A and B are shown apart, each in its own frame.
Chain A
Amino acid sequence: MALERLRAAGLMGPILALACEIVIFGSLAPRFATTRNFLLIAEQAMEIATLAIGQTLIILVAGIDLANGVVMVLASIVMAKLAVAGVPVVLAVVAGVAVSAAFGLAEGLLVAIVELPPFIVTLGFFNVAMALALLISGEASIINLPPALLALGDTVSVGGTDVPVGILVMLAVLLVTWYALRETAWGRHMYALGDNLPAARLSGIRVNRVLISAYVTAGIIYAVAALLLLGRTTVGNPDAGETANLESITAAVIGGISLFGGRGSIVGPVLGAFIVGALENGLTIIGVDALYQDIAIGLLVIAAVILDRLQRGRSR
């Protein structure tokens, strides 16, 4: 029954992939399968995992977000700049969340009301957000950030192990979105909308409202990723995050999210981020060159899409 549910949610593939990695790398390098190393993988994967949760909300409603990485960076720059200028950290964070959510709102409005393709809209905002981050930061890293702004980089002791706060925050974001997608009408409507837009519209679902809310919610989640980024790097770096959009899409696809929309569990992209993280980490430990790692990840994505296609073929 539990297995059947996992299969139905499309999580069997990602879980098996992660298990294979642990078995293979674990047997090749004893150093791989240790708590310390797993926490390291998690720490490296949590930003992409968080971005991928937001990305997935947008993919579920048959969109795609090419701007999420740079929006995260812009939000982190806004927070850092304000905090360094003496604005209370709480207000600086609120401003960062507002900027990030505003990007989501603008994207959502253009996609829903003006009916522009999400690919084009978010490509445009990719450039806008990147340029704004460089302008606001003066093309330089913002340093000497107040400790409160870096709180998500701290660790807490859980049963004697030092666990990064960021991981717990990422899991909290996952839990909330999982609940919203599974247990509320909003979640049902997100899936229905991505699955069959005319049917959703005829059912009386306020389609535009749901679409826009997906982009805004994703924007708020990207601001959380910004805090994770600040916590990990301790500086506001305007040059970060340019490839995070593709990495988050990779995580979503590997996690069993259909790029056609309306399919997949929100747990999948988080697993996907960990699968990529573990693959990079494992290959590094056994001494494989970084470029070969990129080849491996690329092939993994293609394999995941083939799997998605095969599953869709079977169900039709």
Chain B
Amino acid sequence: MSAAEARAAPDYDAAPVYQARGLVKRYGRVTALDGADFELYRGEILAIVGDNGAGKSTLIKILSGVIAPDAGELWLDGAHVHLRNPLHARELGIETVYQDLALAPGLDITSNLFLGREERMPGILGGLFRKLNKRSMQRQAAAHMSSLKIGIRSMAQAVETLSGGQRQGVAIARAVSWGRRIVIMDEPTAALGVQESGMVLELIRTVRARGVPVVVISHSLPQVFAVADRIQVMRLGRRVGIGFPSRDSMDDVVAMITGARAGEAEWRPAKVVSSA
């Protein structure tokens, strides 16, 4: 086992990096979340699965600060947090890769990676004339992309000229740049072919190897089993079970999704850590 892989192993003995208890979200008479729980541990890839309407998206939106829960609490590294909005979540190091929203297709890769945190030239050029340090940003972008093993040659290409998988690669690279704490991905392979999906799954593993835990929503159980360390099964707005690709079969997980079999909704690591 290489050093990177050793570091990549989930650490279920430590306290969760990110945790939620009893999340409730109602839209009028519809209850989207009905007391959902969530934990994310250091070094793990957690998949969230469930049927349509099970509450996956609502859960992700609360975790990434897009919506506020009606009830329930969040802890980040053991500290209680109230996310005001997605920007606030980002400031706290929670980065989300949205399905379509992430990139400006007309801008080049470097501009997208640095959007909202551009680097200026030193001295009077940057100070008075506000000139961007394009060369430096270009260099950093290229280094960052190659460290994630995303094979795109020119950082000056417009994002819209890239394939779907490459775009997803740029979006993920953006999320993990600047040493973020947690990356959340909403259906990262939804629009991709087999080969490109494989590329994105590999990238998710690379992100974990850098020490950033990943939450992935996915409809594809084979992909979930290929990449996840742990699976959280949602049903009717709650967490109804937790599966391990190393222990459970796909049929077990399907049974939990459909409600044919009850799972262990209150799974705790071997060494139980009291939360909060």
Contacts and interface: CB of A to CB of B under 8 A. Distances in A.
A184 B115 contact: no
Interface stretch (B96-104, B141-149, B203-211, B246-254): B96-104
6 contacts: A185-B118, A189-B116, A192-B115, A199-B101, A202-B86, A263-B106
A184 B130 contact: yes
Contact of A199 (B90, B104, B120, B160): B104
Interface string B77-97: 000000000110010000000
B90 A191 contact: no
Interface string B97-139: 0100111111100010001111010000000011110100000
B132 A205 contact: no
A196 B116 contact: no
B107 A188 contact: yes
A198 B101 CA distance: 6
B161 interface: yes
Given A199-B102, A202-B101, A203-B116, A192 B131 contact: no
Interface string B3-28: 00000000000000000000000000
Interface of B: 86-87, 90, 98, 101-107, 111, 115-118, 120, 129-132, 134, 158, 160-161
A180 to B, nearest CB: 8
A309 to B, nearest CB: 15
B132 A202 contact: no
Contacts of A263: 106
A205 B116 contact: yes
Which of B90, B115, B117, B129 has the most chain A CB atoms inside 10 A of its CB? B115
B191 to A, nearest CB: 13
B138 to A, nearest CB: 13
A189 B87 CA distance: 16
Label chain B's interface by main secondary structure.
loop
A315 B107 CA distance: 13
A8 B106 CA distance: 10
A191 B98 contact: no
A315 B161 contact: yes
A262 interface: yes
Contact of A204 (B87, B132, B158): B87
A262 B161 CA distance: 16
Interface residues on A, range: 20 to 34
A196 B105 contact: yes
A60 to B, nearest CB: 10
Contact of A196 (B101, B131, B134, B161): B101
A185 B121 CA distance: 11
Contacts of A180: 130
Interface in A196-239: 196, 198-200, 202-205
B111 A183 contact: no
Given A183-B132, A315-B160, A316-B160, A192 B111 contact: yes
Contacts of B106: 191, 195, 262-263
A21 B85 CA distance: 54
A199 B111 contact: no
A23 to B, nearest CB: 32
B131 A183 contact: yes
B118 A196 contact: no
Interface string A278-316: 000000000000000000000000000000000000011
A186 interface: yes
Interface of A: 8, 179-180, 183-186, 188-189, 191-192, 195-196, 198-200, 202-205, 262-263, 315-316
A191 B118 CA distance: 14
A8 B111 CA distance: 16
A126 to B, nearest CB: 29
Nearest to A261: B106
6 closest pairs, A vs B, by CB?
Answer: A203-B116, A204-B116, A185-B118, A195-B104, A192-B104, A203-B115
A252 to B, nearest CB: 16
A200 B115 contact: yes
Contacts of A204: 87, 90, 116-117
Contacts of A183: 129-132, 134
Contacts of B98: 202
Nearest to A203: B116
Contact of A200 (B104, B117, B160): B104
B160 to A, nearest CB: 5
Given A184-B132, A188-B118, A202 B107 contact: no
B131 to A, nearest CB: 5
A61 to B, nearest CB: 12
A191 B101 contact: no
Contacts of B86: 202
B102 to A, nearest CB: 6
A304 to B, nearest CB: 18
A207 to B, nearest CB: 10
Nearest to A186: B130
B64 to A, nearest CB: 10
A39 B217 CA distance: 62
B86 to A, nearest CB: 6
Contacts of B102: 199, 202
Contacts of A315: 158, 160-161
A28 B90 CA distance: 63
B228 to A, nearest CB: 26
Contacts of A188: 107, 111, 115, 118, 132
